[in-house]
Amino acid sequence: MALATLKDVLAKREDARAVGAFSTYDLFSAQGVIQGAEKENLPVIVMMGAPVLAKPGNEYIAKNLVSLAEEAKVPVVVFLDHAKDYATCLKAMKLGFSAVMIDGSHFSLEENIHLTAKVVETAQHLGISVEGELGALAGLEDGEEVKNSKMTDPTKVRQFVENTGIDALAVSIGNAHGLYKGEPNLNFDTLRQCEQASPIPLVLHGGTGLTQEQFALAVQCGIKKINIGTEIKKSYIEAFVATQGQNPAAYDLIGIPQACKEAVSGVAAEKLRFFAADWAKFIN
Protein backbone atom coordinates (compact mmCIF):
# COMPACT_ATOMS: atom_id res chain seq x y z
CA MET A 1 0.00 0.00 0.00
CA ALA A 2 1.22 3.50 -0.78
CA LEU A 3 2.82 5.73 1.81
CA ALA A 4 0.07 7.96 3.21
CA THR A 5 -0.11 11.60 4.34
CA LEU A 6 -2.06 13.19 7.18
CA LYS A 7 -4.66 14.32 4.64
CA ASP A 8 -5.15 10.69 3.64
CA VAL A 9 -5.77 9.26 7.12
CA LEU A 10 -7.20 11.96 9.39
CA ALA A 11 -10.97 11.97 9.71
CA LYS A 12 -13.13 14.81 8.49
CA ARG A 13 -14.88 17.06 11.00
CA GLU A 14 -18.15 15.13 10.76
CA ASP A 15 -16.44 11.75 11.41
CA ALA A 16 -15.95 11.19 15.14
CA ARG A 17 -12.80 9.10 15.24
CA ALA A 18 -9.07 9.54 15.69
CA VAL A 19 -5.90 7.89 14.41
CA GLY A 20 -3.12 6.74 16.69
CA ALA A 21 0.39 8.12 16.18
CA PHE A 22 3.16 6.12 17.85
CA SER A 23 6.79 6.96 18.56
CA THR A 24 9.30 4.46 17.16
CA TYR A 25 13.02 4.12 17.76
CA ASP A 26 14.27 1.11 15.84
CA LEU A 27 13.22 -1.56 13.38
CA PHE A 28 11.35 -3.63 15.96
CA SER A 29 9.28 -0.85 17.48
CA ALA A 30 8.31 0.27 13.96
CA GLN A 31 7.42 -3.28 12.90
CA GLY A 32 5.36 -3.67 16.07
CA VAL A 33 3.32 -0.53 15.43
CA ILE A 34 2.60 -1.47 11.82
CA GLN A 35 1.82 -5.06 12.80
CA GLY A 36 -0.74 -3.77 15.30
CA ALA A 37 -2.33 -1.57 12.64
CA GLU A 38 -2.51 -4.45 10.16
CA LYS A 39 -4.15 -6.64 12.81
CA GLU A 40 -6.92 -4.04 13.23
CA ASN A 41 -6.96 -3.12 9.52
CA LEU A 42 -6.65 0.55 10.44
CA PRO A 43 -4.40 3.38 9.22
CA VAL A 44 -1.56 4.39 11.51
CA ILE A 45 1.02 7.13 11.97
CA VAL A 46 4.56 5.97 12.67
CA MET A 47 6.61 8.73 14.27
CA MET A 48 10.30 9.43 14.70
CA GLY A 49 11.18 12.30 17.00
CA ALA A 50 13.59 14.96 15.81
CA PRO A 51 16.06 14.16 18.65
CA VAL A 52 16.05 10.51 17.53
CA LEU A 53 16.67 11.39 13.89
CA ALA A 54 19.59 13.58 14.99
CA LYS A 55 21.53 10.64 16.49
CA PRO A 56 24.39 9.26 14.35
CA GLY A 57 23.29 6.49 12.01
CA ASN A 58 19.57 6.90 12.60
CA GLU A 59 19.01 8.04 9.03
CA TYR A 60 19.05 4.31 8.25
CA ILE A 61 16.19 3.70 10.68
CA ALA A 62 14.30 6.56 9.02
CA LYS A 63 14.74 4.93 5.62
CA ASN A 64 13.52 1.63 7.09
CA LEU A 65 10.37 3.36 8.30
CA VAL A 66 9.62 4.55 4.79
CA SER A 67 10.24 1.07 3.33
CA LEU A 68 8.03 -0.58 5.95
CA ALA A 69 5.25 1.90 5.22
CA GLU A 70 5.44 1.29 1.48
CA GLU A 71 5.12 -2.47 2.05
CA ALA A 72 2.36 -2.31 4.69
CA LYS A 73 -1.15 -3.67 4.17
CA VAL A 74 -2.72 -0.51 5.63
CA PRO A 75 -2.07 3.21 5.07
CA VAL A 76 0.98 4.30 7.06
CA VAL A 77 2.12 7.89 7.58
CA VAL A 78 5.84 8.28 8.33
CA PHE A 79 5.98 11.34 10.54
CA LEU A 80 8.75 13.54 11.92
CA ASP A 81 7.73 14.65 15.42
CA HIS A 82 8.63 17.94 17.11
CA ALA A 83 11.24 19.38 14.79
CA LYS A 84 12.33 22.78 16.05
CA ASP A 85 13.86 24.11 12.84
CA TYR A 86 13.46 24.13 9.07
CA ALA A 87 16.66 22.14 8.41
CA THR A 88 15.47 19.11 10.37
CA CYS A 89 12.14 19.11 8.52
CA LEU A 90 13.95 19.31 5.20
CA LYS A 91 16.18 16.39 6.20
CA ALA A 92 13.13 14.23 6.93
CA MET A 93 11.49 15.24 3.65
CA LYS A 94 14.60 14.20 1.74
CA LEU A 95 14.57 10.84 3.55
CA GLY A 96 11.05 10.20 2.25
CA PHE A 97 8.87 11.07 5.23
CA SER A 98 5.27 11.78 4.25
CA ALA A 99 4.55 14.23 7.10
CA VAL A 100 6.52 16.51 9.40
CA MET A 101 5.76 18.52 12.52
CA ILE A 102 7.38 21.90 12.89
CA ASP A 103 7.15 22.98 16.51
CA GLY A 104 7.59 26.73 16.76
CA SER A 105 5.74 26.94 20.05
CA HIS A 106 8.87 28.25 21.80
CA PHE A 107 8.74 31.37 19.59
CA SER A 108 6.40 34.33 19.58
CA LEU A 109 3.19 33.91 17.56
CA GLU A 110 4.63 35.93 14.66
CA GLU A 111 7.88 33.93 14.61
CA ASN A 112 5.98 30.65 14.90
CA ILE A 113 3.81 31.59 11.92
CA HIS A 114 6.84 32.61 9.85
CA LEU A 115 8.78 29.39 10.54
CA THR A 116 5.77 27.12 10.09
CA ALA A 117 4.75 28.78 6.82
CA LYS A 118 8.29 28.31 5.48
CA VAL A 119 8.13 24.56 6.17
CA VAL A 120 4.65 24.33 4.63
CA GLU A 121 5.79 26.07 1.45
CA THR A 122 8.49 23.46 0.86
CA ALA A 123 6.33 20.52 1.94
CA GLN A 124 3.46 21.41 -0.38
CA HIS A 125 5.74 21.20 -3.42
CA LEU A 126 6.60 17.64 -2.38
CA GLY A 127 3.11 16.48 -1.43
CA ILE A 128 4.05 16.23 2.25
CA SER A 129 1.72 17.08 5.14
CA VAL A 130 2.67 19.48 7.94
CA GLU A 131 1.53 19.67 11.55
CA GLY A 132 2.08 22.85 13.56
CA GLU A 133 1.71 23.65 17.24
CA LEU A 134 0.04 26.57 18.96
CA GLY A 135 0.64 26.74 22.70
CA ALA A 136 3.37 24.67 24.36
CA LEU A 137 3.48 21.31 26.14
CA ALA A 138 5.61 20.75 29.22
CA GLY A 139 7.33 17.45 29.93
CA LEU A 140 10.16 15.22 28.77
CA GLU A 141 10.23 13.65 25.32
CA ASP A 142 13.14 11.78 23.71
CA GLY A 143 15.64 13.46 26.02
CA GLU A 144 14.39 17.01 25.48
CA GLU A 145 12.64 18.77 28.38
CA VAL A 146 10.20 21.67 28.27
CA LYS A 147 9.52 23.01 31.77
CA ASN A 148 6.83 25.59 31.07
CA SER A 149 3.54 24.87 29.36
CA LYS A 150 1.37 27.42 27.59
CA MET A 151 -2.33 26.79 26.95
CA THR A 152 -3.48 27.25 23.38
CA ASP A 153 -5.37 30.50 22.90
CA PRO A 154 -8.51 29.64 20.87
CA THR A 155 -8.74 33.22 19.59
CA LYS A 156 -5.40 32.74 17.78
CA VAL A 157 -6.22 29.41 16.15
CA ARG A 158 -7.81 30.61 12.91
CA GLN A 159 -5.09 33.24 12.41
CA PHE A 160 -2.37 30.64 12.89
CA VAL A 161 -3.97 28.08 10.57
CA GLU A 162 -4.82 30.52 7.79
CA ASN A 163 -1.39 32.18 7.84
CA THR A 164 0.61 28.96 7.83
CA GLY A 165 -1.35 26.55 5.61
CA ILE A 166 -0.79 23.58 7.95
CA ASP A 167 -2.76 20.34 7.63
CA ALA A 168 -3.13 19.58 11.37
CA LEU A 169 -2.79 21.59 14.59
CA ALA A 170 -1.40 20.33 17.90
CA VAL A 171 -3.06 22.02 20.87
CA SER A 172 -2.07 22.45 24.50
CA ILE A 173 -5.00 21.92 26.89
CA GLY A 174 -3.19 20.62 29.99
CA ASN A 175 -1.67 17.59 28.27
CA ALA A 176 2.05 16.89 28.72
CA HIS A 177 4.84 14.73 27.36
CA GLY A 178 6.19 11.80 29.37
CA LEU A 179 4.56 10.44 32.52
CA TYR A 180 2.07 12.70 34.26
CA LYS A 181 2.78 13.76 37.83
CA GLY A 182 -0.59 13.16 39.43
CA GLU A 183 -3.91 12.95 37.60
CA PRO A 184 -3.97 14.72 34.20
CA ASN A 185 -6.31 17.70 34.12
CA LEU A 186 -7.41 18.55 30.60
CA ASN A 187 -9.31 21.73 29.77
CA PHE A 188 -12.04 20.48 27.45
CA ASP A 189 -13.69 23.90 27.25
CA THR A 190 -10.52 25.22 25.61
CA LEU A 191 -10.47 22.20 23.31
CA ARG A 192 -14.07 22.82 22.22
CA GLN A 193 -13.28 26.45 21.47
CA CYS A 194 -10.21 25.44 19.46
CA GLU A 195 -12.24 22.91 17.49
CA GLN A 196 -14.87 25.50 16.65
CA ALA A 197 -12.19 27.92 15.45
CA SER A 198 -10.09 25.43 13.50
CA PRO A 199 -10.85 24.47 9.88
CA ILE A 200 -8.34 21.59 10.10
CA PRO A 201 -7.94 18.46 12.29
CA LEU A 202 -6.68 18.90 15.86
CA VAL A 203 -3.93 16.81 17.48
CA LEU A 204 -3.47 15.70 21.10
CA HIS A 205 0.10 15.05 22.23
CA GLY A 206 1.02 13.41 25.54
CA GLY A 207 -1.43 10.51 25.35
CA THR A 208 0.32 8.16 27.78
CA GLY A 209 -1.40 8.30 31.16
CA LEU A 210 -4.72 9.70 30.04
CA THR A 211 -7.83 7.74 31.01
CA GLN A 212 -10.18 6.11 28.55
CA GLU A 213 -12.82 8.64 29.52
CA GLN A 214 -10.43 11.52 28.73
CA PHE A 215 -9.52 10.00 25.37
CA ALA A 216 -13.21 9.50 24.57
CA LEU A 217 -14.11 13.07 25.43
CA ALA A 218 -11.13 14.36 23.41
CA VAL A 219 -12.30 12.47 20.32
CA GLN A 220 -15.86 13.67 20.86
CA CYS A 221 -14.53 17.25 21.07
CA GLY A 222 -12.74 17.02 17.73
CA ILE A 223 -9.31 15.44 18.26
CA LYS A 224 -8.34 13.48 15.12
CA LYS A 225 -4.75 12.41 15.91
CA ILE A 226 -3.49 11.16 19.29
CA ASN A 227 0.21 10.73 20.03
CA ILE A 228 1.49 7.86 22.16
CA GLY A 229 5.19 7.74 23.02
CA THR A 230 6.06 6.77 26.58
CA GLU A 231 3.68 3.79 26.58
CA ILE A 232 5.47 2.39 23.55
CA LYS A 233 8.84 2.72 25.28
CA LYS A 234 7.47 1.22 28.49
CA SER A 235 6.01 -1.85 26.79
CA TYR A 236 9.22 -2.37 24.80
CA ILE A 237 11.56 -2.17 27.79
CA GLU A 238 9.33 -4.26 30.04
CA ALA A 239 9.22 -7.01 27.40
CA PHE A 240 13.00 -6.79 27.02
CA VAL A 241 13.62 -7.14 30.78
CA ALA A 242 11.07 -9.93 31.24
CA THR A 243 12.39 -12.00 28.33
CA GLN A 244 16.01 -11.57 29.38
CA GLY A 245 15.05 -12.52 32.94
CA GLN A 246 13.60 -15.84 31.82
CA ASN A 247 17.03 -17.07 30.75
CA PRO A 248 19.75 -14.54 31.72
CA ALA A 249 22.60 -16.66 30.37
CA ALA A 250 21.13 -16.81 26.85
CA TYR A 251 21.52 -13.12 25.95
CA ASP A 252 18.86 -13.91 23.39
CA LEU A 253 19.12 -11.25 20.69
CA ILE A 254 16.79 -13.30 18.52
CA GLY A 255 13.94 -13.82 20.95
CA ILE A 256 14.14 -10.55 22.88
CA PRO A 257 13.54 -8.20 19.90
CA GLN A 258 10.61 -10.36 18.81
CA ALA A 259 9.08 -10.13 22.29
CA CYS A 260 9.53 -6.37 22.23
CA LYS A 261 7.88 -6.15 18.82
CA GLU A 262 4.89 -8.19 20.02
CA ALA A 263 4.48 -6.00 23.10
CA VAL A 264 4.49 -2.83 21.00
CA SER A 265 2.08 -4.43 18.55
CA GLY A 266 -0.38 -5.12 21.35
CA VAL A 267 -0.31 -1.52 22.57
CA ALA A 268 -0.75 -0.13 19.07
CA ALA A 269 -3.63 -2.45 18.20
CA GLU A 270 -5.51 -1.64 21.41
CA LYS A 271 -5.10 2.12 21.04
CA LEU A 272 -5.98 2.18 17.36
CA ARG A 273 -9.16 0.20 17.97
CA PHE A 274 -10.16 2.45 20.85
CA PHE A 275 -9.49 5.72 19.01
CA ALA A 276 -11.36 4.51 15.92
CA ALA A 277 -14.55 3.24 17.55
CA ASP A 278 -14.44 1.87 21.09
CA TRP A 279 -14.14 5.36 22.62
CA ALA A 280 -17.88 5.86 22.06
CA LYS A 281 -18.66 3.30 24.79
CA PHE A 282 -17.29 5.74 27.38
CA ILE A 283 -19.54 8.65 26.44
CA ASN A 284 -22.75 8.93 28.44
142 belongs to the catalytic site:
no
**Gyration radius (Cα) of the chain, Å:** 18
Q: For 129-152, what is each residue's pLDDT tens digit? A: 999 999 866 544 444 434 346 789
Structural contact between residues 259 and 240, judged by C-beta atoms closer than 8 angstroms: yes
Q: For 250-277, what is each residue's pLDDT tens digit? A: 999 999 999 999 999 999 999 999 999 9
Q: For 221-233, what is each residue's pLDDT tens digit? A: 999 999 999 999 9
Structural contact between residues 133 and 115, judged by C-beta atoms closer than 8 angstroms: no
Q: Residue 211 and residue 116: Cα distance in Å, rounded?
A: 32
15, 81, 85, 278: the catalytic one is 81
CATH number for the domain spanning 244: value is: 3.20.20.70
Task: Give a three-class secondary structure readout of the chain.
Answer: CCEECHHHHCCCCCCCCCEEEEECCCHHHHHHHHHHHHHHCCCEEEEEEHHHHCCCCCHHHHHHHHHHHHHCCCCEEEEEEEECCHHHHHHHHHHCCCEEEECCCCCCHHHHHHHHHHHHHHHHHHCCEEEEEECECCEEECCEEECCCECCCHHHHHHHHHHHCCCEEEECCCCCECCCCCCCCCCHHHHHHHHHHCCCCEEECCCCCCCHHHHHHHHHCCEEEEEECHHHHHHHHHHHHHHHHHCCCCCCCCHHHHHHHHHHHHHHHHHHHHHHCHHHHHCC
pLDDT truncated to tens, each residue of the chain (284 aa)? 679 999 999 999 889 999 999 999 999 999 999 999 999 999 999 999 999 999 999 999 999 999 999 999 999 999 999 999 999 999 999 999 999 999 998 899 999 999 999 999 999 999 999 999 998 665 444 444 343 467 899 999 999 999 999 999 999 887 665 554 556 678 899 999 999 999 999 999 987 778 899 999 999 999 999 999 999 999 999 999 999 999 999 999 999 999 999 999 999 999 999 999 999 999 87
Q: Which domain, by its residues, includes 217? A: 3-282
pTM of the predicted model as reported, rounded to 2 decimal places: 0.93
Q: Residue 91 and residue 59: Cα distance in Å, rounded?
A: 9
- The domain total for the chain is 1
Rounded to the nearest 10°, the torsion over CA 3, 11, 167, 231 is -70
Structural contact between residues 69 and 98, judged by C-beta atoms closer than 8 angstroms: yes
